[in-house]
């Protein structure tokens, strides 16, 4: 399995204890393309996903355009009436 691969594979690995932490060594073929990862528990399963840094603008671009129902409604923009202070 190569980096970025989406194919499914399994491998038996050993779990170790270091103090109060449980450690698993990730085999080379399962190496993640990131320095940090998100660990999620689903019942008895643990899912490890790479976390990549993205800047705010890139995150907004990834969202894409808003659907028509999510856009702000049109309104008449008028100049406010002057008030006497």
Q: Taking every pair of C-alpha atoms in the chain, what is the biggest distance, in angstroms?
A: 79
| Residue 53: per-residue pLDDT | 78
Segment 16-31 mean pLDDT? 92
Q: What are phi and psi of 76, to 5 degrees?
A: -80, 120
| Residue 1: per-residue pLDDT | 47
Residue 47 in tokens: 């899912």
Element (H or E) spanning 18, and its range? strand 15-18
Cα separation of 35 and 59, whole Å? 19
Average pLDDT, the chain: 85
Cα separation of 45 and 47, whole Å? 7
Segment 19-30 mean pLDDT? 92
Is this model's pTM higher than 0.85 or not? no
| Residue 5: per-residue pLDDT | 55
């Amino acid at each position: 399995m190569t980096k970025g691969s989406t194919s499914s594979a399994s491998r038996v690995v050993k779990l170790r204890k270091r103090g109060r932490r449980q450690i698993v060594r990730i085999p080379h073929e399962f190496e993640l393309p990131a320095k940090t990862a998100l660990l999620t528990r689903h019942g008895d399963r643990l899912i490890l996903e790479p976390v990549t840094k993205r800047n705010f603008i890139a995150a907004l671009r990834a969202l894409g355009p808003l659907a028509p129902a999510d856009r702000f409604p049109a309104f008449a923009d008028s100049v406010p009436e002057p008030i006497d202070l």
